Structure 1
Amino acid sequence: MILRRINWLEEHNSNLSIRKEGMNSFLWLTSAQVFRISALLVSTILLSRMIPKEDFGIFAMSATLINFINIFRDAGMSNSIIQAKIVKESQVSTIFWLNIAISLSLSSGVLILSFPIAHFYNQPNLIPLISVLAIGIFASGAAVQHDALLRRAMMYRTVSVLDIISTGAAGICAILIAQNGGGWWALVAQKVIQILIYTAFVWMACDWRPRFLWSWQDSRVIANFGAQISIFNFVNYFSRNGDNILIGSYWGPALLGVYAKSYETLLGPLIQIANPLANTLLPILSRLTTDPERYRATLLFPYKAAILCTLPAGMMMLCLPEATVYLIFGSGWEEAVPVLQWLGIAVATQIAGSASGTAFISQKRGRDYIITGLFCSVISILSFCLGLPFGIGSVAMVYSLMYVLVQQPFIFWMVGREGPVTSRDMFSLLGLPFICSLFSVPSLLAVRAYVTEPESLTTFFVGCLTSVFVQTLVLLAIPSGRNIMRVACHSFMYRKAR
């Protein structure tokens, strides 16, 4: 499966148009993420009808530990490898063996921590569940360096194909296990199998092999910047997982299962879009830091397009949550309605927040990145605590409002303090989505007023068509909207021609 032999350590695509190469990479990753999101949505629709809510909650409890451990999996060094113009063999081999040592240590740590975590939640089933997930931690650590080299070489077509294969195979296995009464083991298998398949294929696609070299002197710069990213991830962990920890300990596995699955259904796809977009842009932006105009255009345009693509889903969740819950989860998941409704408000701002992270990393502003993460984590934990006594819907409500009104302005202000992107540039990401929402929300509320069964599939599909149609009309009526649609169509035709 080795596609072509190249020098993985040299700078690639230096003579190509950065804009065209970047857009082609983005389109490949977008295609893969569309498949990935669709596959995850189909598996969610099927698994939520086969597995009790309590099992989803137990799996979410284990995820709080796994997500924490994953912070330190590659110590943030993969981003440094991707951005570097030239890397040495001694650097790459040293970082690889360091990743292996870290992954092995983390896997062992997970096995030890499974016992106190099970005691904290009073769920003995967490011990075998977490122990199996530890296998995935070690396997993913073995894939980090090869994945980074593929992305550094901008071989996103290969990365996309591997992602599609591993996601599809893992989803099929999970459904088969759940169909035979596997319960939460199906969710564990889906996670671990996806990692194992991707790791195996990424080693086949990238024929670089580590040597028994160790040079801390050569690798120190990469490790130092990676450490700053890891510190941010550590701080940001409590913002991303504090709600699950608090809900699991306060309300138990059933409501945690509803909340975690609702969060994953809405904001999970946003992460699936934002992460590949950031991975595509980082090696490009790192070469444009001395060209402010091109840097701004390269950063802002893809994120504007991504926000507009996800906005109809957010409007649907906000205005017609009952129909969405019925389609995805089926009956018995009514507690998810207010969670999805309030999280729908945060759809556009979440991707805009990802743009801020891309700006910090590409400009190597690790200190500002950490300060921003610390502030957001404090505000998030405060919002979780304020909403917790009143139910999971209140947790989602307070978090969404605090994110939009407090965290997002602070994030944009921090980005604009220095560098080629101003705070005004960052706020411009939300301009078109705000205008579109002014027309989409009344249209969807009109649909809601005229339907007799708000939870029906007919309501869902009518709402989707209405949201997309209204947003398209608004974009066509605004010059900047027409420009985004024109460039997107041109880029699609460019990829098709290639």
Structure 2
Amino acid sequence: MADSATRSVQRSILFSALDRYTGLLVVFFATAVLARLLSPEEFGIYAVVNAITSIIAACFQEFAGASYLIQKRELSRTSVQTTFTITLMISVATAFVLFVFAQPISRLFELDRLRYGIEISALNFLLLPFSGTMAALFRREMQFGTLAICNFVAGATIAVVSVGLAMAQFSYMAPLWGAVAGNAVLAVMLLILRNDFGAMRPSLVDCREIVGFGLYSGAVSVVNVFYGLAPQLFLARVLDFTAVGLYSRATASTQIFDKLVTQVISPVVMPAVVARHKAGGDLKAGYLEAIQMLSAVQWPFLAFMAVMARPIILIWLGPNWLEIVPLVQLLCIGNLALFAACLTYPVFVALGRVQDALISSLISLPPSLLVIFGASFLGVHAVAASALVTLPFQAAVAFHFLGRHLRIRPGEMVRSLFRSGAVTALVIGGVSICAALTDMQRLSSLAGLGLAFVVALLCWWLGLTVTGHPLLHQFRYAATGLARRAPGRWPSRTAP
């Protein structure tokens, strides 16, 4: 039974990885092209529009119950219908409000062009109820292969439309229209593949239970999303849209790890954690094991990004974006504290303590926002530097609440992370030599980056081996499993 559950999670992670990596590949090339077609100011306008609509989207998506559909033990037909109905009602109201307040918001930021961007983005809210509900049901059933196909086609649509319109001089409107086109494709594909139009029948049965869960879940989501996007809003109001564009691009570059790793496992984490808790599994042991694995990948990756930021930005985005190199370095260092971020909310949900997720956010995020707001008057570099204080503080508050429920002592956390720290130090040493050779122009940017990547992999593997890191055991376990299944899947050439 346990082996079957493990294989199910591993298979889900595989499909989730396929989903994210193919999508990331599309985004990587689209970003490289758009960075050469849009100026920092144009990208800054897009970033502000995206920030405003993303905050509202996060609110209604979680309020309406994507997490509710996943964590519900016995999901009835009426619960699905009610969740969709509430989502649709909120999304239509939200789109209407955005249309009405688009002009006042543009006046607040003293830029009339914001109005048209907000009105276009509001169209997405009319599509999200359909795609959000269907995607949540696929996630609940661990059907990540279907989601991977739909997300890839939608992502490709966004890229093609965005680049095409940018080449046609649509400026900051290009990625906004691209997002609308991609969401439309995603909604249509999910509806066709799910083929369950009865789930969209209006219903308000059990609405109090769904709304009760959504009040906490939605509040947690909107608080965290607002915090993540607040720097763009502060910079737009205090400085200018060029500063917003630089900071937003630096943030997006820093979040490559999230797209490569965290977003691969995040869709699987909540269903897997909830299933483990239902089966009576030890969440404390599972949590400590998970942070060992995550930190052994995240820390070396962010260290590599910080040390090699200049050649990465030069090759990927071009010389016009070299101003963001110090921003990327500061944000990478600050994000080292968030090694367990993707586990926090799912564990709270599994424990039935989703309200503690809200409380911890309300304790840590308001002071962090004040720090960021104050830093915005000192410039974009000060805003990036504030992450060195705010992100570790947020991680400490979250761990305080989780540690109390899981009975994890600080010493146990330190022991779990010690080996990952040693691995990261070894990677930094090797990559720093390559960075020095590149800075002295002994190597070109491309050659230096390629050499640094190889050296980082070798140092990482050496570190895992020397420290006897548990992640190495997981690799061996996975390799053994593949070897055992291989003979049955691929017959021998000598077989009759």
Output the TM-score relative to the length of structure 1: 0.89
Cα distance in 2 between the residues matched to 1:63 and 1:256: 12
Between the two proteins, what is the percent identity of the paired residues? 17
Matched, 1:472 2:442: no
Cα distance in 2 between the residues matched to 1:316 and 1:88: 47
Matched, 1:283 2:277: no
Cα pair distance change 1:122/1:243, threshold 3 Å:
same
**Counterpart in the other structure of 1:103:** 91
Amino acid at match of 2:181: I
Amino acid at match of 1:475: L
**Counterpart in the other structure of 2:236:** 248
Cα distance in 2 between the residues matched to 1:238 and 1:88: 33
Report Cα offsets for 1:230-252 as digits up to 9, x if no partner: 11123223321221111111220
Cα distance in 1 between the residues matched to 2:196 and 2:144: 17
Report Cα offsets for 1:31-85 as digits up to 9, x if no partner: 2111222221211111101111111000111122101211232315111111222
Cα pair distance change 1:286/1:264, threshold 3 Å:
same
**Counterpart in the other structure of 2:150:** 162
Report Cα offsets for 1:429-448 as digits up to 9, x if no partner: 64443222211222222222
**Counterpart in the other structure of 1:5:** none
Describe the SS at the equivalent of 2:213.
Answer: helix
Aligned-residue RMSD, C-alpha:
2.6
Cα distance in 1 between the residues matched to 2:26 and 2:201: 40
Amino acid at match of 2:395: Q
Deviation at 1:358, TM superposition (A): 1.8
Describe the SS at the equivalent of 1:154.
Answer: coil
Cα pair distance change 1:415/1:25, threshold 3 Å:
same
Q: Is the 2:291–2:417 Cα contact (8 Å) retained in structure 1? A: no
Q: Is the 2:274–2:346 Cα contact (8 Å) retained in structure 1? A: no
Cα distance in 2 between the residues matched to 1:16 and 1:205: 29
The one of 447, 450, 465 aligned to 1:458: 447
Amino acid at match of 1:487: Y
Matched, 1:483 2:473: yes
Describe the SS at the equivalent of 2:341.
Answer: helix
Deviation at 1:154, TM superposition (A): 1.0
**Counterpart in the other structure of 1:399:** 387
Q: Is the 1:58–1:257 Cα contact (8 Å) retained in structure 2? A: yes
Deviation beyond 6 Å, 4+ runs, structure 1: 491-498
Matched, 1:327 2:315: yes
Cα pair distance change 1:103/1:457, threshold 3 Å:
same
Deviation at 1:211, TM superposition (A): 5.6
| Aligned residue-pair number | 483
Instruction: Show structure 2 runs of 5+ residues with no match.
Output: 490-496
Instruction: Give the number of the structure whose residues are more often helix, by fraction.
Output: 2
Q: Is the 1:432–1:481 Cα contact (8 Å) retained in structure 2? A: no
Deviation at 1:289, TM superposition (A): 2.2
The one of 381, 396, 402 aligned to 1:409: 396
Q: Is the 1:111–1:131 Cα contact (8 Å) retained in structure 2? A: yes
Describe the SS at the equivalent of 2:112.
Answer: coil
Matched, 1:193 2:186: no
**Counterpart in the other structure of 2:122:** 134
Q: Is the 1:303–1:429 Cα contact (8 Å) retained in structure 2? A: yes
Cα pair distance change 1:194/1:27, threshold 3 Å:
same
**Counterpart in the other structure of 2:39:** 52
Amino acid at match of 2:251: Y
Q: Is the 1:27–1:492 Cα contact (8 Å) retained in structure 2? A: no
Deviation at 1:294, TM superposition (A): 4.3
Q: Is the 1:107–1:137 Cα contact (8 Å) retained in structure 2? A: yes
Output the TM-score relative to the length of structure 2: 0.90
